[in-house]
Amino acid sequence: MSNNSKVRVRFAPSPTGPLHIGGVRTALYNYLFARQRGGEFIFRIEDTDSTRFVPGAEAYIIESFRWLGITFDEGVGIGGSHGPYRQSERRDIYVRYVGQLLDAGRAYYAFDTPEELAARREHEANFQYDASTRMSMRNSLTLGLDEARRLIADGTPYVVRFLIEPGEDVHVSDLIRGDVCINSSVLDDKVLWKSADGLPTYHLANIVDDHLMEVTHVIRGEEWLPSSPLHVLLYRAFGWADTMPQFAHLPLLLKPDGKGKLSKRDGDRLGFPVFPLEWHDPTSGEVSSGYRERGYMPEAVVNFLALLGWNPGDDQEVLSMSDLIAKFDLTKCSKNGARFDYVKGFWFNREYLMRRSNEALAPDFVKVLAAAGIETTAARAATVVGLMRDKVITYDTKDGPRKRNISFVSDLWPLCRFFFVAPATFDRDDKFVRKNWTEATAAEMRLLRDKLATLTDFTSDAIKAAIDPWVAEQGLKPWNAWRVCLVGEGQGPDMYALAAFLGQEETLRRMDFAIAQLG
């Protein structure tokens, strides 16, 4: 790569299902890097493995990035001067480049059937198709080129394999890991192309496209690190060594607890999504939850993911996309896996929730309420959000119940039922009710009720202005019992605010009902 070339990076998913959250982080890091350097970001679909193709996956991936605000400059659905960007539409290109390797003697035809290969593997432990075995196989090196051409002309199925010279130390220079070295003897003669479907394998298509699309940096997950020496050898075989991209292999995302990499099962077990959007599996019908549908804000997801494997080196954690673009440093990414702390994800969502106004959150709360069978206006929903957004909720974890701040709009509903639904019964065994409803309470509540009935202005301020001095004069402390009447238990917001929200008629009705029930 020449130093003055414009940065060009790509995200190149295979449409084999929903995009895993680790893939989202890979795309995000590419995006941050491209935007910081004033470079270009390409969206390529690697769909050469037709057996793993899943309908709907490509559209899902595109929609995920649209939701997250991660944008591309070129690619599938966008266009650009280096297309087509779907590998299945680039067959002719790959045929040409496979031909180039064959002509240069860097690749050869192989005719071994799957059965023959299986038999070899069965009889030889650790069988590998490489320099030590290739001269005992059925290929153009052993049969001769003329015979190989004849077989091909007869329609014999074949593959093209990469000829790897053994005994060479192959160095990969990685921006995160430094120099990674592997001896070529451990590599096998990888299949590059198959006549069966006329398609290349991942390795060939990936290298040819990165070259033709003038990719300068390959930023991808750690799981691709083992492929990179082979990729280096391919670049060299093509004569492209001096424009080879810089590699950067990102750290793995690890389970929130225990050892190993994050999996969908961890999400199911601990109750967090591992996909950006909800995914409906087209064959099994299984539904997997998504960050969007769970009520995460895209800015929170981006911020949370950005800090899994990298941090700006100071204490700042809440970072907007433009902060991230300014601060991101690929070379400061960690080599070690990043633990997927999903509870931190709650925290991030709360941070972004608190930055939004009640009115901005109201439409989502209206939806949550509608799902619970409650019709209300955005204005009333906004009032409730304002009264309850600072409360704490209890949630279940595998270690039992925990408390946390409201982190999602949906957290509000279990706390806010009484705003919309009057208590239908009272639990005399409830500690709060027992403590605050004594012999004298019904009479006191009747007094308060009659006083409230005289008010002509029922706003929170007006109720307070009338009731505070009256209570002092009467020597009453009616708050907890009043709360029992309106809420049914010992929680909820300021009583004046609640009464004002309910309105005079409903407030009096609830009080009459409680007095009748509790006596």
Positions touching ligand GLU (CB under 6 A) are 12-14, 46, 206, 218, 220, 224
User: Please, what is the minimum distance in Å from the beta carbon of residue 326 to ligand GLU?
Assistant: 25
Do the strands 246-250 and 217-221 form a parallel or antiparallel pair, or are they unpaired? Answer: parallel
| Beta bridge pairs of residue 109 | 160
User: Please, what is the minimum distance in Å from the beta carbon of residue 13 to ligand GLU?
Assistant: 5
User: Please, what is the minimum distance in Å from the beta carbon of residue 259 to ligand GLU?
Assistant: 23
Closest CA to 232 of 178, 175, 174, 160: 174
Active site residue 264: yes
| Beta bridge pairs of residue 280 | 287
**Residue closer to ligand GLU (CB basis): 67 or 224:** 224
Instruction: Report the run of H or E that residue 127 belongs to, with start and end.
Output: none
**Residue closer to ligand GLU (CB basis): 246 or 480:** 246
**Residue closer to ligand GLU (CB basis): 13 or 492:** 13
User: Please, what is the minimum distance in Å from the beta carbon of residue 221 to ligand GLU?
Assistant: 7
**Residue closer to ligand GLU (CB basis): 249 or 449:** 249
**Residue closer to ligand GLU (CB basis): 130 or 210:** 210
User: Please, what is the minimum distance in Å from the beta carbon of residue 218 to ligand GLU?
Assistant: 6
**Residue closer to ligand GLU (CB basis): 13 or 267:** 13
348 neighbors 300 (Cβ within 8 angstroms): yes
- How far apart, in whole angstroms, are the C-alpha atoms of residue 96 and residue 160? 13
- How far apart, in whole angstroms, are the C-alpha atoms of residue 400 and residue 402? 7
**Residue closer to ligand GLU (CB basis): 248 or 481:** 248
Burial (CB < 10 A; 0-12, 13-18, 19+), residue 405, is: middle
CA distances to 92, 445, 447, 459, 479 from 454, in Å: 86, 14, 11, 13, 19
Instruction: Report the run of H or E that residue 338 belongs to, with start and end.
Output: strand 338-339
Residue tagged active-site, from 194, 255, 264, 367:
264
34 neighbors 7 (Cβ within 8 angstroms): yes
- How far apart, in whole angstroms, are the C-alpha atoms of residue 210 and residue 219? 12
User: Please, what is the minimum distance in Å from the beta carbon of residue 170 to ligand GLU?
Assistant: 17
Q: Is 464 helix (H, G, I), strand (E, B) or coil?
A: helix
User: Please, what is the minimum distance in Å from the beta carbon of residue 46 to ligand GLU?
Assistant: 4
- How far apart, in whole angstroms, are the C-alpha atoms of residue 77 and residue 44? 10
Structure tokens at 10: 């790509």
Backbone angles phi, psi at 249, to 5 degrees: -100, 120
Structure tokens at 142: 């052993």
- How far apart, in whole angstroms, are the C-alpha atoms of residue 204 and residue 183? 20
Point out the residues that are catalytic. 264
